[in-house]
A and B are shown apart, each in its own frame.
Chain A
Amino acid sequence: MRANCWYGKQDMRVMDVPEPKLLNKQDAIVKVTSTAICGSDLHLYNGFVPTMEQGDIMGHEFMGEIVETGSEVKDRRVGDRVVVAFPISCGQCFFCKKELYSLCENSNPNAWMAEKLFGHSPAGIYGYSHLTGGFAGGQAEYVRVPFADVGTVKVENGLSDEQVLFLSDIFPTGYMAAEQCNIQPGDTVAVWGCGPVGQFAIRSAFMLGAERVVAIDRFPERLRMARDGGADTIDYEKTDVYDTLMQLTGGRGPDSCMDAVGLEAHMPGPLYYYDRVKQAVMSESDRPIALRQAIMACRTGGTVSVPGVYGGLIDKMPMGAVMNKALTIKTGQTHTQRYFQPLLKRIVDGQIDPAFVVTHRMKLKEAPEGFALFNQKEDGCIKIVMTP
């Protein structure tokens, strides 16, 4: 079968690889009908995530049809149309029972490695380095899905792939980021990053009752899409973010702030080069530019919610601000499975049509071009969906 494989920094190749087999009794095989490229994939593409191996199959946002099930799969049948959650979760452990699916204790075969780095291991993730299990990913024609009963949601035929595909990651991710803000009536919420995650964070913040959302980015088409979602926007290259936010909130600051940018943040000015150099010489692995701004701008007693991915160490973390302003920081890989039903319901009820975020459609064999395009944010690219 065809699969998009990682071969090195900015080196993706579509290869002919063997089809996956069932390896465990709770596995299912999914024939992929749609698969997307995520901002998280860019961190692998740009070489910021260690423990990638040449030939690893990429991708963790995918859906399709079940074509084979293991003997212990109970609630899914061959022929079911399903969306797959990006974290792999057993459904049985302490964390899965608390619906903290991305913290599953039983799904990372390389847990020891993550323990060395983080003290504990998060769940396994498809196509996301060997640190999170080295699972073959979803940018392929077929994928093996462990714990298929827990990791998939069935969808009816009335909905198109593009309407439901993002239940796999970015819709729940934006939603969880907003939920973590504990939004109260009248709240102003600021969102750094108007990529796909930021877009869903903006819309989710409104769904959860925000009075006003302020979105921050530099790409006009992304800011335009944010405004379409009801947000006010700040182009961080044109105006000072902190000053503008204080202007808008009468000096109090947003009640909560979301960092939907992550470790590859960009910024005009010397601090950006400070972080680039530190990253290059490996004395810091992540560039926390948006995170620093979010912490500084957030109102006292407010919440900073961080869906953006960080992998290692950051520098100049304004802990003094966190402490003295009594901020709450909430973060995590998304507990995707927890949001399957509630968000599917919002789609069915017509409260949101996630397809709005798709700007490019391609064939799986064009994945390397897709990565380059999405990475450079060229041609107005915000979200790419590929079909086999």
Chain B
Amino acid sequence: MVANARPALRQDSRPDGVYTRDDHHGDSVLDADVVIVGSGAGGAALAAELAEGGLDVVVLEEGRYWSTRDFTANASQMIRQMYRDGGATMALGSPPVLYQEGRAVGGSTVVNGGMSWRTPEKILDRWWREAGLDGIRAADMEPYFERVERRIHVRTQDPESIGRDNQLLKIGADAKGWKVIPNLRNQVHCPGSNNCAFGCPTGAKQSALVSYVPRALHFGARLYSDVRVERITRSGKRATGVVGHVVRADGGRGHRLTVRAKLVVSACGAIHSPALLDRSGFRSPSGMVGKNLSLHPNVKLVAIFDEDVRGWEGVHQAYQVREFQDEGLLFAAVNIPPSIIAMTTSHTGRELGELMADYDKMVIAGMLCEDTNTGAVRTVAGQPQAFYQLSDFDADKLKRGCALLAEMMFEAGAKRIMLPFALGDHAGELRGPDDVRRIFADPVPKSSMEVVTVHMMGTARMGSDRTRAVTDGFGLVHDVDRLMVCDASLFPTPIGVNPMETIQALATRAAHHVLENPRRFS
């Protein structure tokens, strides 16, 4: 066993400080001030801040290290490489909810859409009021948001990057007189290649992979990719490190890696952090580990126009329709490759061919819904399994959202619209604005709704009361010494906007707390 082993590095495209599966030649043991499990939105931001503050940081990441030049428009290959379980993970319920998580250095930020929004003020107020969190209101968070926005370069799009699909969405919203705003995204002159979900091939998107990770490495952090952490080690009430193994190319278990650290951080995301805590035997007095799962259920409809749209030419989600934000609904245009559209329609054979012949005339409009129900993540044979039941209230909200969105797209000139649910016994298809009322007139079986999500939150929620929350306001697990959670698990409630910036701001705030209290963590 080697303490602080520095395996000989192969000098290829990898930056200094990144170690991959090829660098392990036996079991090893490392020592560090801080070990962070997961290199996504939360883990990478925390690593960069703590490393700059002078701490010796080790980051362990189950996914691979890919670089900008690896990212292509080959959607299914990218999904197999960078999404956990090929992007086909399911929260069980009726309807089941398909959810997606990135598994790569940079976590889900590598495959996300780059929308970068601050937590709405009313949500922060709610967290302050209901979860008893101090220093979390908008004025307190301002410097952290500002710092994150500087780091990941949050801006609106250059006009030339906006494609026809987004223009049509805006035309529809303007015609209805609805509030529509330019989206804020973490990008440096994104030229609109429309490949965000498969890795940004231009390097414009400031995912953690090209922002926080290089910064963390620059300040001396070490990052081990292809390492899956199995459990957190402990001595009494104190977390002392982690044990994991190298993930071999065939997915099998490779050498064992142990890290001993003064502070242990779980930043595995809202599905895997509760599973790691559970596997490691941490029982919260709140009983809330894995509970309180919110999802921002998401549905999309396909609007077909007479004109050429070529939705893949131009950035996705250049705008958000915010007219119904108070009801918890956001709308945006989100182009999707033909293979994934074909996958999600109900057509087969010749009919499928006819539908897809119009692919270049499609606008895919999606909607995010701030949900009111919560689900849970349970550990089954060491693996997390999510359970989530869409409430009738939220199902009605999604139906209403689809009706509004359909009205808007017809206003923009759509000729027909494919819905994400059946109308009665038939595939949901609307042939004109007069058809929209069928969404309410015809029965819509909840089980027929095609619900997906990429925003899992809340499974180790923060709060001042140890009997109701898993962690304190900085993510430190109640009743355990030196164990922190730093990811989307921390949210006490859903936030109704895209979560990445909130996670990064909370991570920055947590880093500040650690650096301001060096004795507590030395």
A and B from one assembly? no
User: What is the interface of chain B, defined by CB distance below 8 A to chain A?
Assistant: none
Binding site for B on A (CB under 8 A): none
